[in-house]
């Protein structure tokens, strides 16, 4: 009876999924939500300890193009205007140059704990999100996860 209910839930979920916006979901069959959260937190903390933030900036210079002046004379009156003027201010956005390395560390750390990542389409209908949430607390076999709500944590 339980397997029939799970198959029905999976069928309902499958009907409302779209594959245009796939999500990478942390996955380990049979794992509880608290186990996944705990593993992610432990790996994130260990990653920050081993690979600290290295904030830096990268300067993007200003871009300016003066354009051209166009004049039109009508009788004794001349009117001029500038067209094609472009001015983009320079930027100095901060970024963490260790971020990608920490993401790779996080993947290796979760893999060492027995977790992996699966790509699943994003659920788009409210009824599908509810159906998924019923079995997200204990992850079922991969074949029963047809979509994943984007607003539900533990995807990247």
Average pLDDT in the chain: 80
Q: Give the pLDDT score at 51.
A: 95
Global pTM value: 0.60
The residue with greater pLDDT, 135 or 70, is 70
Instruction: Please report how many Cα atoms fall inside a 13 Å half-sphere around the Cα of residue 11, on the Cβ side.
Output: 6
The 10s digit of each residue's pLDDT in 77-136 is: 999 998 888 888 888 888 899 999 999 999 999 999 999 999 988 887 776 666 666 666
Helices and strands (DSSP H and E) totals, the chain: 4, 8
């Amino acid at each position: 009876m339980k397997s029939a209910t799970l198959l029905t839930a999976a069928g309902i979920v499958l009907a409302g999924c779209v594959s245009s916006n796939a999500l990478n979901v942390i996955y380990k069959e049979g794992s509880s939500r608290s186990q996944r959260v705990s593993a992610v937190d432990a790996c994130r903390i260990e990653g920050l300890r081993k690979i600290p933030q290295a904030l830096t900036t990268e300067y993007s210079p200003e871009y300016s193009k003066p354009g051209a002046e166009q004049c039109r004379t009508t009788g004794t009156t001349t009117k001029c205007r500038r067209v094609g003027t472009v001015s983009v201010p320079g930027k100095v956005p901060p970024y963490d140059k260790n971020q990608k390395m920490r993401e790779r560390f996080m993947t290796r750390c979760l893999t060492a704990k027995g977790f992996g990542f699966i790509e699943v389409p994003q659920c788009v209908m409210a009824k599908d999100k509810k159906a998924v949430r019923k079995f997200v607390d204990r992850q079922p076999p991969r074949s029963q996860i047809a979509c994943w709500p984007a607003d539900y944590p533990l995807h990247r």
